[in-house]
Chains A and B, each alone.
Chain A
Amino acid sequence: MAQLAHDMKHGGHDAHAHDHGHHDQEGLKMLGFWFFLATDLLIFACLFATYIVLRTHVDGGPTGKELFEVKGFMTETFLLLTSSFTSGLATLEMRKGNVKGLIGWLIVTVLLGMGFLGFEITEFVQYAMDGATMSRSAFLSAFFTLVGTHGAHVTVGMFWIIGIMIQLSRRGITDVTQRKVMTSGLYWHFLDVVWVFLFTVVYLSGMVM
């Protein structure tokens, strides 16, 4: 009997077809992940709303204009946008069935993500050294929390992608690993989109305000 169960499991697509009432697990997970992204998007929406309400509440402390440095945040933007592009290239390699290419581009993606984080941390430390900490003013509380939450997401995303790379190297491209690459890729692009908003709402409009 165990043998039968075993066969069913590893029978690939055939087992699927005559398995009445067995749902397409990977499809379900993909849909669930979209809903998760919606909730995450709303978290960011609330943080953005808070930031917009509080950004003028500088309490005599530094304003965005005084703090932000074009070179820093432009580099961050460049790194993150490029990483989104390389994550797309990884998906393309997956479509072609090329595990090596897939893992290669994922490595590049993670490295770019690390670069992004490096710059972001440097930026935060710089501000803190100038006395612009989270407890200085409501504006800075909102700034660090909003940008920091994004950074924390990027960090989690990196570890996640690393985990998936290990699984890819062990198991190759299967239904399951394919879905995992897709969801993590989706997540990564999502963070990219959030960054575009951050860039506009926080940095660009901070520079002109």
Chain B
Amino acid sequence: MDSIKQFASTFFVTGDPMIYGADVSIVLVSVAILFYLTKFKKWGWLWREWLTTVDHKKIGIMYLIAALLMLFRGGVDAILMRIQLAAPNMKFLESQHYNEIFTTHGTIMILFMAMPLIFAMFNIVVPLQIGARDVAFPFLNAVSFWLFFMGAMLLNLSFVIGGSPDSGWTSYPPLSELGFSNGPGENYYLLSILISGIGSTATGINFLVTILKMRAPGMKLMKTPMFSWSVLATCIMILYAFPALTVALILLFIDRIGGAHFFTLTGGGNPMMFINLFWIWGHPEVYIVILPAFGIFSEVVSTFSKKRLFGYTSMVLALVSISIIGFFTWVHHFFTMGAGADVNAFFAIATMAVAIPTGVKVFNWLFTMFRGRISLTQPMLWTLAFIPCFAIGGATGVMLSVAPADYQYHNSYFLIAHFHQVLIGGVVFGMFAGLYYWWPKMFGFKLNDRLGKWSFWLWNIGFYVCFMPQYALGFMGMTRRIYVYGWDRGWAPLNMVSTIGAFLMGIGFIVMVWQIIYSIKHGERDTTGDPWGGRTLEWSIPSPAPLYNFAEIPVVKSRDAWFEMKEEMAQPGYQKKPVHIEPIHMPKNSGIPFFMAVFFFIGGFGAVFEWYWMAIPGLIGIFACLFARSFQYDTDYYIPVEEVEATESALGRL
């Protein structure tokens, strides 16, 4: 009995009323979901339509929902931190709790919010935009999603079971080594990212092959829409960057459970090795999340200026050069390592060089808008807000890249303000623009304009109110990751302002959720499939797209394929070509991806607690799933012509 008590008191996180609150709400929500599914007999539906789906559109929607939930969780973390910092000597959070929260905030926002959000956009848009019926490997796509999902679950479990990681999202050793981080928290961090990282790498491979090989006939690489181009560049970066992260995490894990000495201070280890590997992934990672946003802005700007994108070729070149230079800048995250003037100079110059292609892109967007007929829709608003925001973020980035000056800014609130400006003002605004833009394509209705404007202004004003003071605080000597400060520092007023800004953004998020709920009922329905006057192929099909996307694969003649087709159709004497429908080849649903991810979860959870009796069966389960899949030959089917015809005529397309 006593030993059970003993076990439970370390297994479950105890002692904090907030955690008890979380426990209760987790249990209540789970019970409510189980009740709902059983009461309304939804289990079969859930299994058939979602858990086993290999349809890229549904996988995209699942990524989206998960990412928004994670944005909420990360946002709550942020608000808690801002409350603690609002005034000097606050007693809201203790130091340990504060450490845990900034760690999960960063980890979740980058790996479990930004990544799934970009993957949501990849999935929802890319096949439709290039005129394909699915991605190259639909089964693998489902595996990727479920690995991400289970990774995210594992990390989120940590705060009620075992304890959260607390050594920062960068998890530098020796702090993250055994001697300093004994609990399971750090293991949670390592395993959850490893698991979801495998999924991310697979997504990179999947979309790379999709874009290279599955474009509609006639769509040359230089006729591919800009968003798909940005995904192509992103995928190449994923392939090159993620292995470094995988290795860094695995080696740290071996240090922790195998007593190795890669990054320890004793035994000849070298902590800087981890930090190098981490940023060899980490810097490209920031471009991995921003490039798709660039792609979205390109689509949005061109559609809502009613002009073709200015400087298409230079846009492509900029993407490609960013994705190459991005791999030669990582040392700017630790100029203070003391690598010497020559090394620091190289990386400083490479970092500054990234600003050049970025600037090219900004000017291209501006020139696209120049003399365009601009309509201020919601996607366009976010795009317009992004441009000045990112310009400031880029400029402060260049300030940070001046190596000698960085000795002063490094790890201060100036740095915090910089990366939030590029991540929120760039990635988040970009994904929001994409969300509003493609929402009708996903769900068949637009999101309400009035509520959207409220949310937009709350977010924007909130952003500047929150982060502009942080630049100043950085100059005043406030360093990152501190949890209290005294009155004598003079930081109090600006911190209070910053906290107010955070709350404004929080309200903006709530309004956005309300907007979505409201629009499900009252949003303007999209019956044409082309609510914005779009230019690319995804707008040529009904919203939401049918299972097989295109009844007939379109033949592409020019860059803005759908725009040209519409022009052609508007010609006098245009004869509609009869649609020629053939049986459509589709992948079958499969439960294996889900089960495999469950085994990953079991294995991961076992490894977190170093319970080999649990970890090893998990590992065996993973391989069993792989083996089972290898023996499956009956993996796809054909949708017969009649069925396609029936669907198309129901959608008014025949």
Residues of A within 8 A of B (CB): 1, 4-5, 8-9, 18-23, 27-29, 31-32, 35-36, 38-40, 42-43, 45-47, 50, 53-54, 57-59, 134-139, 141-142, 144-145, 159-160, 163-164, 166-167, 171, 176, 180
Contacts and interface: CB of A to CB of B under 8 A. Distances in A.
A20 B216 CA distance: 11
B243 A59 contact: no
Contacts of B206: 32
Given A31-B213, A46-B244, A137 B630 contact: no
A136 B259 CA distance: 9
Contacts of B214: 23, 28
B549 to A, nearest CB: 10
Interface in B205-250: 205-206, 208-209, 212-214, 239-240, 242-244, 246-248
Contact of A138 (B267, B623, B637): B267
24 contacts: A5-B583, A21-B550, A22-B585, A23-B213, A29-B137, A32-B137, A43-B247, A45-B243, A46-B247, A46-B248, A46-B277, A50-B277, A53-B270, A58-B268, A59-B261, A135-B260, A137-B261, A138-B270, A141-B255, A144-B260, A145-B251, A163-B631, A167-B630, A180-B630
A35 B213 contact: no
Given A145-B254, A167-B630, A35 B208 contact: yes
B623 A39 contact: no
B633 A176 contact: yes
Contacts of B550: 21
Contacts of B158: none
B638 A4 contact: yes
A141 B630 contact: no
B273 A54 contact: yes
Given A35-B208, A43-B247, 17 more contacts: A1-B640, A20-B582, A22-B585, A42-B244, A46-B243, A46-B244, A46-B280, A59-B268, A134-B259, A137-B268, A138-B262, A139-B268, A141-B254, A141-B262, A159-B623, A163-B627, A166-B631
Interface string B180-192: 0000000000000
Contact of A5 (B266, B277, B552, B637): B637
Interface size class of B (residues with CB under 8 A): 35 or more
Interface string B193-212: 00000000100111011001
Given A23-B213, A141-B261, A135 B243 contact: no
A43 B251 CA distance: 12
Nearest to A7: B638
B477 interface: no
B136 A28 contact: yes
A107 to B, nearest CB: 18
Nearest to B634: A9
A137 B640 CA distance: 64
Interface in B373-416: none
B133 interface: yes
A21 B214 CA distance: 9
A36 B260 contact: no
B642 interface: yes
B338 interface: no
Contacts of B261: 57, 59, 135, 137-138, 141
A41 B585 CA distance: 34
B309 to A, nearest CB: 27
A139 B270 CA distance: 11
Chain B CB count within 10 A is highest, among A27, A36, A42, A59, for A42
A9 B587 CA distance: 12
Contacts of A28: 136-137, 209, 213-214
B258 interface: yes
B267 A135 contact: yes
A57 B264 CA distance: 12
B421 to A, nearest CB: 31
Contacts of A159: 623, 627
Contacts of A35: 204-205, 208-209, 239
Interface in B260-298: 260-262, 264, 266-270, 273, 277, 280
Nearest to B261: A138
A204 to B, nearest CB: 22
Nearest to A50: B273
B33 to A, nearest CB: 36
Interface string B412-430: 0000000000000000000
Chain B CB count within 10 A is highest, among A18, A43, A58, for A43
B212 A31 contact: yes
Given A20-B553, A135-B259, A39 B270 contact: no
A126 B325 CA distance: 46
A185 to B, nearest CB: 15
Contacts of B630: 160, 163-164, 167, 180
Contacts of B640: 1, 4-5
Top 7 nearest A-B pairs by Cβ distance? A57-B268, A135-B259, A141-B260, A138-B268, A42-B243, A46-B247, A59-B268
Contacts of B273: 50, 53-54
B209 to A, nearest CB: 5
Contact of B209 (A1, A5, A32, A138): A32
Contact of B205 (A39, A58, A137): A39
Contacts of B137: 28-29, 32
Nearest to B248: A46
A27 B239 CA distance: 20
Nearest to A139: B268
B202 to A, nearest CB: 8
Contact of A36 (B205, B259, B633): B205
Chain A CB count within 10 A is highest, among B251, B277, B553, for B251
Given A5-B640, A145-B260, A47 B213 contact: no
A176 B631 CA distance: 11
B205 A142 contact: no
Contacts of B247: 43, 46-47, 50
B254 A32 contact: no
Chain A CB count within 10 A is highest, among B212, B585, B640, for B585
A17 to B, nearest CB: 12
A4 B583 contact: yes
Contacts of A22: 585
Interface string B583-615: 111000000000000000000000000000000
Contact of A54 (B259, B268, B552, B582): B268
A42 B240 contact: yes
Contacts of B264: 138
Contacts of B267: 57, 59, 135-138, 141
A122 B441 CA distance: 60
A144 B250 CA distance: 13
B190 to A, nearest CB: 15
Chain B CB count within 10 A is highest, among A53, A136, A141, for A141
A202 B40 CA distance: 62
A50 B582 CA distance: 54
A38 B258 CA distance: 28
Nearest to B258: A134
A179 to B, nearest CB: 12
A50 B205 contact: no
Contacts of A21: 133, 550, 552-553, 582, 584-585
A117 to B, nearest CB: 17
A135 B268 contact: no
A9 B624 CA distance: 27
A47 B137 CA distance: 29
A59 B266 CA distance: 8
Chain A CB count within 10 A is highest, among B206, B268, B623, for B268
B326 to A, nearest CB: 15
Nearest to A18: B582
